[in-house]
Structure 1
């Protein structure tokens, strides 16, 4: 069953505390039930998802679904006060958050359709393979199947490329090819050693047609997930923006290092990974399930790590976990190939959302309006303001 979005939650600050006042207890309980349903749904098989959807639709008809908290009881409780006490504001924010969460959960579970876009956004050109001699191969414009370029046999599909050497190179420094992935796309490449690299939107990878006899080097920019083929005598190095590099022998990890962002993030999913700084003695080692951020010359590890959020993009999902409006708009701008511009006071809110990246930009605009963030498209620029 195709889905467009799962859950949306809003807060005025990065506060994950569970302190709620009495008037909202019932709605908080409903919100938690929705979160439980979301978790169950995401972990279920496609067949189980279909069954859950049918059961929920049968037991929760639209006219009986309670979307909003009990505003009347809240108003009565504070009617005698000319100026509500400060905790009322946090209570109202919590109630608004719950109403939004329940409304969006309702839209998901009842299969409500967002309106289709009336005008598409111009997409960037497709993934390109740039050879060492400067020749450019537009991978969208060649048929799927096998082709040969500069001594490498490639097998292509709509979303992947597999490399295999026709014969060993007889040169000291093998040629290097570059794979670029535009906005709104992801693309996978299998290197000659069997290592698999999945590139996210607006990313690039430089790789040699043949690795040297004692080590394997690639260069990346953007975001990529690496599944390195094990070889203890020939470690796998990733040059990240010429700032840091990682060393792996056989492991799975994610690196996020977009140009213009403040930090580089390396997340280890399984195996062993070392992260070192160029022209410095600084280094750190990760264990499975750990992440390190490199910013302002320092390594910093987050207090909390959600691995599902880190690798959600592999499944073409936006997963925002208490993310600022800046973080969300950065992702939207990169994926939909639009510039971001703020108008008036920037919305001061942090959001939790799980969105399907196949949603049209117009559907994203409609969804964001539900949490009081107004988006307006003018040409290739998305204007952001508070409602």
Structure 2
């Protein structure tokens, strides 16, 4: 069967109501992309006719899962990948369904991350925030510590509370793998922390210093104060802002530190750079091992997809994708051979079990196997 025949056969199966959810997803993506395709190309013209028939004759099926596999691909790329998927689905020689079926069943038991964090106080006490009920749970350095109805940590203080303490009293918010958390700092700045991250800050005199130290990834919405800049210190740079929205990814296992500006402006001072650079909305700086920053224009939605409950990939390599999954699902990831450099595209809900994003990988011809090694869940990735 030729590739064109496989496509036509898939459309007929859709019309007959015999498609699987994954096959139906492919057809739905074709339908969304055909308006931008060229007229006069036989296969595209036939697709339009068949899809029109499908959309007008088939009764609405059950709601799709919130997986937009190819939303950010051009229509031509969607068709190219979809053809590859069709070949994989219908060619029993190239498919290894038994391996993927076993892995998918096991992956369904890998739960997604959730709101969890610990707060380390100046005297060494550690408070598990996810175990607390809503309300005030402590008084520290002139601040009331509150867990609000959204489950986030909020600092509320009296105007003169900073005068009671001469030395900085540091708090550290630690997010484990498989966790995420939100907090409102004493100056009103809001921060979202991703898995395997930590934020350290002095809770007294905070309005005067407005400085935090970040390891991992966080998104900030900084309370504007033209007289007192807000600073975020990481291992490779310092970000200085007045009032803005931005994301910093500074995980030690990534290739460098990314700062993505959503709104406002920020100054980036790399540790090894002779001068700072200023970002405009839609720009992203990258500080690699050389310690020198580079700037590029980006679509900021990818950088902050995680705070909206999504994984979003736009030309990421498989090892970049799996590092995100490893942190969120608290698993170990290994590759059978060297990780390939293929680019992956797609969008997947983070609040699902691991089989959902792993299913995405199968569309790019990556196989996975789930096992337990010394009590730790391991996902092995192969593309052969």
Cα pair 1:237 1:246 within 8 Å, conserved: yes
Cα pair 1:116 1:360 within 8 Å, conserved: no
1:238 Cα deviation from its structure 2 partner: 0.8
Where structure 1 has 5 or more consecutive residues not aligned to the other structure, the ranges are 9-17, 34-54, 63-92, 104-113
1:362 Cα deviation from its structure 2 partner: 2.5
1:174 Cα deviation from its structure 2 partner: 1.9
Cα pair 2:112 2:353 within 8 Å, conserved: no
Give the ranges of 4+ consecutive aligned residues of structure 1 lying more than 4 Å apart after TM superposition: 3-8, 21-30, 55-62, 93-96, 100-103, 114-118, 121-125
Distance 1:156 1:286 in 2: 34
Cα pair 1:7 1:354 within 8 Å, conserved: no
1:153 Cα deviation from its structure 2 partner: 0.5
- Corresponding position: 1:340 with 2:344: no
Partner residue of 2:233 out of 233, 236, 239: 239
- Corresponding position: 1:370 with 2:360: no
SS of residue in 1 equivalent to 2:358: helix
* Alignment deviations for residues 32-91 of structure 1 (CA, whole Å, 9 cap, x no partner): x9xxxxxxxxxxxxxxxxxxxxx96974778xxxxxxxxxxxxxxxxxxxxxxxxxxxxx
CA distance 1:129–1:57, change in 2 (3 Å): farther
**What are the residue-to-residue correspondences of 1:132-171 with 2, within 5 Å?**
132-151=122-141, 152-157=143-148, 159-166=151-158, 167-171=161-165
Match of 1:311 in 2: 304
Distance 1:169 1:6 in 2: 60
1:94 Cα deviation from its structure 2 partner: 7.8
Match of 1:222 in 2: 216
1:301 Cα deviation from its structure 2 partner: 1.6
Cα pair 2:246 2:260 within 8 Å, conserved: yes
Where structure 2 has 5 or more consecutive residues not aligned to the other structure, the ranges are 1-20, 28-36, 62-76, 88-103
* Alignment deviations for residues 189-224 of structure 1 (CA, whole Å, 9 cap, x no partner): 101111111111111110111235643111011111
* Alignment deviations for residues 336-357 of structure 1 (CA, whole Å, 9 cap, x no partner): 1111111145445211110000
Distance 1:144 1:60 in 2: 46
CA distance 1:193–1:384, change in 2 (3 Å): same
- Corresponding position: 1:175 with 2:163: no
Distance 1:121 1:27 in 2: 42
Match of 1:273 in 2: 266
Cα pair 1:127 1:140 within 8 Å, conserved: yes
With the length of structure 2 as denominator, give the TM-score of the two structures: 0.71
Match of 1:261 in 2: 254
1:148 Cα deviation from its structure 2 partner: 1.4
CA distance 1:23–1:231, change in 2 (3 Å): same
Distance 1:383 1:26 in 2: 41
Match of 1:382 in 2: 379
1:363 Cα deviation from its structure 2 partner: 2.9
Partner residue of 1:192 out of 167, 181, 186: 186
1:173 Cα deviation from its structure 2 partner: 2.4
* Alignment deviations for residues 239-267 of structure 1 (CA, whole Å, 9 cap, x no partner): 112x2101111111111111222211111
1:335 Cα deviation from its structure 2 partner: 0.9
Aligned-residue Cα RMSD (Å) equals: 3.8
* Alignment deviations for residues 91-117 of structure 1 (CA, whole Å, 9 cap, x no partner): xx98650336799xxxxxxxxxx9796
Cα pair 1:276 1:283 within 8 Å, conserved: yes
Distance 1:123 1:288 in 2: 30
